[in-house]
Amino acid sequence: MDQIIRVSISEASRLFGISQQTVRRAIADKELVYVVVRNRYKINFESLVRWSQKKTSVRNKLERRGIGQFVGRWKIKNTLYSPNPRVLDKGIDKERKMG
């Protein structure tokens, strides 16, 4: 069973390098999937990623000011801990067949 990840408006704005107002606008426009927990929006992270990739300005901010600016530093340099490319290819093939 897949685990659903939800983030708050402030977490979403920090992760994606966008303003909280931008996130609130997307909620108001029904572009994001969310639930309300104790009077606070909790946004489905998967819908947030999909939405961010559809919007060019958000995608660019993600890469410049959001979490995307750190991706280059996360690359695994020690092959001992790198995923086996054959295993990754099988996972991608499996996803393509399912999706």
Q: pLDDT tens-digit profile of 59-78?
A: 888 888 887 777 777 666 66
CB 32 within 8 A of CB 26: yes
What's the pTM value of the predicted model, to 2 decimals?
A: 0.65
Judge whether 52 and 59 are in contact, CB under 8 Å. Answer: yes
**43 and 25 Cβ atoms separated by less than 8 Å:** no
- Greater confidence, 79 or 50? 50
Query: How far is residue 25 from each of residues 1, 9, 12, 22, 86, measured CA to CA in Å?
Result: 31, 11, 13, 5, 42
**Two structure tokens written together for 15:** 């992760």
| Domain limits, the chain | 6-73
Summarised one tens digit per residue, pLDDT across range 14-57 is 999 999 999 999 999 999 999 999 999 999 999 999 999 888 88
Q: Where are the alpha helices (DSSP H) in 1-99?
A: 9-16, 20-28, 45-54, 56-64, 85-98
